Amino acid sequence: MTKGDTEKQAFLRDKLIKQGEDEANVYIQRILAKLKPKSKLVDIGCGTAHIIEKLARKYENALFTGLDISEAMINLARNNTQGLINIELVQGDGLELPFQSSEFDIVINRLADYSLADIHRILKKGGYFIEYGLGPDSDREIVEFFPNRCEEESFFFPEDPVNWKKEVTEKMNEFTFCNIKIDDYKSKDYYKNKEEIMDLIEMVPLLKDFNREKYSEKINELVEKYREEQGIGITWHYYILEAMKL
């Protein structure tokens, strides 16, 4: 059985990232604020390595490790990081990290499964965990049109929508983290056409057993409702959590 993203999902993710990833985005800036010239950083669920590739070019004397469970993602990541000798790529499970205790100054995670206990273990004292996670309003247009077909692991449905940040930060209380900070950001991502919306749904994946032909009509309705001058607007809502290990 294939673990993690399939070759098609990896290809779609790489394509969409290269179309729209902003080097000056908030997440990268928050990581750069913690990086030092000889830092050791690991990206849990590195995907196509687009984050560590940018960081490695700015900090040539730092060491970056990317871990992903998907062989297809690791293969794409290798292509994307050719020539960068300060990057190491590892195929592995974010829930069982294959690293030594107190090995890293910074651990980052963007929308991937992880074990907080293992992250705490591999961080040095004074090291930082930085997580980019889903906010509850992300992809709300998809939820509106397919309320009963959502792939729950690809969304965040909090128990208490009003106090969802507390729900996120409470997980840190079991470990010796301090200076816990969480900020959320909301924007619109714009897609050119129906095919790009379907690429998004299939890439993540957002819907269970998604079939392009079967749901074509419904996607047309979504496209017509949310078409704007810039394109088809889909809400993107995310949070960035920072915490330091005591």
The neighbouring-strand residues paired with 233 are: 190
The token duo for 18 is: 């290269």
* Exposure letters 157-183 (e unless 16+ CB within 10 A, then b): eeeeeeebbeebbeebeebebeeeebe
| Residue recorded with tokens 């819907």 | 207
Helical ranges in 44-182 per DSSP H = 50-58, 71-80, 116-122, 140-145, 164-169
By the 8 A CB rule, do 18 and 75 touch?
no
pLDDT at 8: 75
By the 8 A CB rule, do 103 and 36 touch?
no
pLDDT tens across the length of the chain (246 residues): 456 667 777 677 666 666 555 544 899 999 999 999 999 999 999 999 999 999 999 999 999 999 999 999 999 999 999 999 999 999 999 999 999 999 999 999 999 999 999 999 999 999 999 999 999 999 999 999 999 999 999 999 999 999 999 999 999 999 999 999 999 999 999 999 999 999 999 988 999 999 999 999 999 999 999 999 999 999 999 999 999 999
pLDDT at 245: 98
Q: Hey, what domains does the chain have and what are their CATH numbers?
A: 7-134 (3.40.50.150)
pLDDT at 100: 98
What's the predicted TM-score (pTM) here? 0.90
Number of alpha carbons in the 13 Å side-chain half-sphere of residue 25? 18
pLDDT at 7: 79
pLDDT at 161: 94
pLDDT at 25: 86
Q: How many helices (H) and strands (E) does the chain have?
A: 9, 8
pLDDT at 93: 97
- C-alpha 214/C-alpha 244 separation (Å) is 47
- C-alpha 12/C-alpha 191 separation (Å) is 14
By the 8 A CB rule, do 234 and 191 touch?
yes
| Residue recorded with tokens 């059985």 | 1
Residues comprising the chain, all counted: 246
Helical ranges in the chain per DSSP H = 7-20, 26-32, 50-58, 71-80, 116-122, 140-145, 164-169, 194-203, 216-226
